Amino acid sequence: MVPIQELFWFITVLAIAGAVAGFLAGMFGIGGGAILVPVLYQAFTLLDTSDQVRMHLSVGTSLAVIVPTSISSFRAHYKRKAPDMALLKSWVIVVPLGVIVASIIVAEASSSVLRGVFAVIAVLVGIRMILNRDSWRLADDLPKNPLRAICGFVIGLLSALMGVGGGVLNNTFMTSFGRPVHQAVATSSGLGILISWPGLIGYIWAGWGNPDLPIYSTGYVNWIAVVLTIPITLLMAPLGANAAHALNRRQLETAFGVFMIVVAGRFFWSLI
């Protein structure tokens, strides 16, 4: 039986996380996972969840929450005709394929490996966005296939390992090839749909039957956290999308970069 006080703090932390994650989902097109994963990790720590499954559970639950959040965020951006629909259509197979491969890896990976992957990618992306210069562009437009397909596969793979909706990597990818950050953010919200659905199924499969999981978990997805977090994230996502279009490009890039550095620091600290 979970003590009432611990359950209260668990619910409170998730409510705050849901509000922040939903706003960031709309603002940065990241599906909220970059904030949800570290906060869920702390929340599961409060409930004394086994360290062997804590990170896996945080990532899988984050992907489950991203399913409706990314849809809400994408709808808000789509109304403004902001996403690159051609890019999303070209990735409709390769991105989910990368997510499936990630699920196979997760079934064998340790908690420290997942935390390390999250932290390294987050700090690299954060530095790239903070120090971003137009001269750093790799090209003036997105690459053609097969390089474009390979990039989509890698984004799907790494995003599923991190528990994010794809914006963490896609924002960097698109801006590196000459696309404006606002279009990258909007496109990333659609990418979250391609990642979260197969990711949800994959993490359920990867953790199926694990004896260390807390109550109301199906594989590496905890449904208490999902049910508590989703309504708040759905409410906040459109507000974040509106805020994104109110900022100029450099402000949005810097804010995103600082955010990722903070998140990376938290996970590097947990590995010490």
Domain count, the chain: 1
Q: How far apart are CA 78 and CA 64, in angstroms?
A: 22
Helix (H, G, I), strand (E, B) or coil at 30: coil
Task: Using alpha carbons, select from 185, 156, 160, 206 the residue that is nearest to residue 63.
Answer: 160
Inter-residue contact 166 to 108 (CB < 8 Å): no
| Domain assignment of residue 52, given as a range | 4-271
Entry pTM: 0.82
Virtual torsion, Cα 222, 228, 234, 237, nearest 10 deg: -80
Residues contacting residue 91 through CB under 8 Å, at least 6 positions apart? 148, 149, 152, 156, 191, 194
Task: Give residue-wise pLDDT tens across range 47-106.
Answer: 778 888 999 999 999 999 888 878 877 888 888 888 899 999 999 999 999 999 999 999
The pLDDT tens digits of the residues spanning 117-150 come to 888 988 887 887 788 776 667 788 889 999 999 9
Peptide bond into 146 cis (omega under 30): yes
The distance from CA 158 to its chain's CA centroid, rounded to whole angstroms, is 10
d(CA 3, CA 17): 21
* 198-224 tens-digit pLDDT: 999 999 999 998 999 988 899 999 998
